[in-house]
């Protein structure tokens, strides 16, 4: 049997949809036999009725339209703010890519043009100037003693002298014929980068084609 | 329109990217219950409007705060609304009453009822007293009454919404009801009715 204290706590739930059936039954039984709790239940039911009216009167309430307008405005503002931001980001990346490209090109050029310079011996200079092919560009010296992969020129003797130099030049392949090297006639007009190993007397001793030129030659 | 059927996290993603339609779909689904809760808790249409606006602004500005793996968007929005309402109640004592012109520019209205003008006046007065009494309850008891009696949520739903056990909600509701009844002096009538019933 439910007591009055229990009824005050649980009994007013008896009309709720989620009330436990056994509690609701006990509360109804108690209210039937207790005038005070019955009156309390009646008062609560009146109040509950008023709460329902209050609920109904506000059932269709919703935020005013101006809230929606403000939120839409905020959404648009943020969207517009994002567009320049995106443009700036693209521009920044483009600039960075261009700078990297320029730096790479500059570095490649620097490597090609200003490789460690060696002292130009008068003989080397003379060889460069006395190159019989007018098309030959006798420009630069690379490092001394870089004798790897050189092809001995016909008629020259290998020497162990330390006073040798390498002359880098861009010539037409046909010019190599003057040093006794065989050149296919159809390739005679091709431009190739070559290194001449020049002896202490200023005469070329050996020659090597640059890797790119060799590759080109192979592919051709 | 298909947009209604789309999952809320997907809609939210689109909304954050600036898709107005997706945002409106979310807003229209959730704003009314949030507004009503805020209105019933604060008693002020202006405060309720501000709260709802803040809640959705938060959703636009900091969408990452909603984590779909931790619950539904509706629950998240209710939680944010609840926090804002509680902050509002802490900051300000109740300023406005609902009998003022409400935010939509219309006066507070009773549902249509075929009663005499006298009865309507009495009923309106009684409802007004009830509304005042609800707004005078301490916030936690008021919340239990609003959720369980006005919004008619189950105890479990209300407990989930408030992030507390069902027992706590029941206890708060019990206290809230008692205070309401006392406030409305219905309890004072009860012994009289009881004695009249006994006779």
For residue range B26-56, list pLDDT tens digits in order.
999 999 999 999 999 998 999 999 999 999 9
Considering its fold, how many domains does chain B have in total? 2
Residue B140 has pLDDT above 80, yes or no: yes
Q: What ipTM score was computed for the predicted complex, to two decimals?
A: 0.73
**Residue B53 and residue A62: Cβ atoms within 8 Å?**
no
Q: What is the pLDDT at residue B138?
A: 93
DSSP type of residue B146: I
Residue B95 near residue B44 (C-beta atoms within 8 A): yes
Radius of gyration over alpha carbons of chain A, in Å?
50
User: Is A17 in the B-facing interface, judged by CB distances under 8 Å?
Assistant: yes
Residue B48 near residue A63 (C-beta atoms within 8 A): yes
Mean pLDDT calculated for residue range B139-165: 91
At residue B6 the predicted structure's pLDDT band, cuts being 50, 70 and 90, is low
**Residue B126 and residue A70: Cβ atoms within 8 Å?**
no
Quote the tokens at residue A197: 């190993």
Quote the tokens at residue B146: 């609003």
B82/B152 same-domain check: no
Q: Does any domain span residue B172?
A: yes
Distance of CA A101 to the CA centre of its chain: 14
Of B32, B132, B142, the residue nearest B85 (C-alpha): B142
User: Which among B17, B36, B177 is the nearest to A12, CB-wise?
Assistant: B177
Q: What is the pLDDT at residue B45?
A: 92
Q: What is the pLDDT at residue A141?
A: 37
Q: What is the pLDDT at residue B80?
A: 94
At residue B139 the predicted structure's pLDDT band, cuts being 50, 70 and 90, is very high
Using DSSP, state whether B5 is helix, strand or coil.
helix
**Residue A39 and residue B53: Cβ atoms within 8 Å?**
no
Cβ neighbours of B182 in A, within 8 Å? none
**Residue B177 and residue A46: Cβ atoms within 8 Å?**
no
Residue B149 near residue A51 (C-beta atoms within 8 A): yes
What average pLDDT does the structure give for chain B? 81
B120/B78 same-domain check: no
Considering its fold, how many domains does chain A have in total? 3
Q: Does any domain span residue B103?
A: no
Mean pLDDT calculated for residue range B74-99: 79
Residue B142 has pLDDT above 90, yes or no: yes
Q: Does any domain span residue B72?
A: yes
A35 → chain B, closest CA residue: B194
Expressed as residue numbers, the domain containing B120 is 113-191
A6 → chain B, closest CA residue: B174
Expressed as residue numbers, the domain containing A20 is 4-57
B3/B90 same-domain check: yes
Q: What is the pLDDT at residue B147?
A: 93
Residue A44 near residue B177 (C-beta atoms within 8 A): yes
pLDDT averaged per 10 residues, chain A (length 220): 86 86 90 91 89 87 92 87 65 74 75 52 45 42 47 72 76 82 83 83 81 50
CA angle A70, A71, A72 (to 5 degrees): 90
B146/B78 same-domain check: no
């Amino acid at each position: 049997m439910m007591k009055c204290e229990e009824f005050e706590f649980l009994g007013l739930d008896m009309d709720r949809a989620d009330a436990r059936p056994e509690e609701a039954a006990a509360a109804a039984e108690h209210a039937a036999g207790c005038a005070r709790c019955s009156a309390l239940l009646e008062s609560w039911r009146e109040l509950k009725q008023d709460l329902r009216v209050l609920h109904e009167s506000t059932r269709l309430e919703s935020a005013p339209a101006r809230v929606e307008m403000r939120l839409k405005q905020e959404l648009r503002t943020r969207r517009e703010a994002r567009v320049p931001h995106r443009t700036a980001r693209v521009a920044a990346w483009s600039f960075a890519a261009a700078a990297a490209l320029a730096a790479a090109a500059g570095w490649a050029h620097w490597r090609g043009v200003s490789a460690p310079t060696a002292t130009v011996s008068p003989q080397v200079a003379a060889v460069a100037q006395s190159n019989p092919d007018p098309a030959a560009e006798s420009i630069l010296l690379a490092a001394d003693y870089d004798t790897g992969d050189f092809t001995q020129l016909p008629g020259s003797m290998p020497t162990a002298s330390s006073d040798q130099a390498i002359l880098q030049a861009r010539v037409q392949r046909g010019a190599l014929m003057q040093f006794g090297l065989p050149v296919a006639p159809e390739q005679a007009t091709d431009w190739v980068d070559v290194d001449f190993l020049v002896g202490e007397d200023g005469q070329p001793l050996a020659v090597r084609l640059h890797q790119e030129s060799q590759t080109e030659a192979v592919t051709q | 329109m298909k947009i209604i059927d789309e999952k809320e996290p997907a809609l939210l993603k689109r909304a954050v990217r600036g898709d107005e339609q997706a945002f409106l779909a979310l807003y229209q689904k959730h704003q009314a219950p949030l507004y009503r809760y805020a209105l019933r808790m604060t008693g002020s249409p202006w405060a309720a409007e501000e709260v709802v606006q803040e809640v959705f602004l938060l959703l636009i500005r900091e969408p990452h705060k909603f984590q779909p793996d931790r619950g539904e968007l509706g629950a998240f929005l209710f939680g944010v609304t609840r926090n804002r309402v509680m902050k509002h109640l802490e900051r300000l004592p109740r300023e406005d009453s609902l009998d003022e012109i409400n935010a939509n520019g219309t006066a507070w209205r009773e549902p249509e009822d075929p009663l005499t003008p006298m009865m309507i006046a009495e009923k309106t007065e009684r409802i007004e007293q009830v509304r005042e009494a609800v707004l005078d309850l301490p916030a936690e008891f008021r919340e239990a009454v609003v959720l369980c009696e006005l919004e008619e949520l189950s105890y479990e739903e209300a407990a989930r919404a408030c992030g507390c056990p069902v027992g706590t909600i029941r206890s708060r509701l019990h206290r809230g009801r008692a205070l309401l009844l006392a406030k409305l002096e219905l309890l004072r009538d009860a012994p009289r009715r009881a004695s009249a019933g006994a006779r």
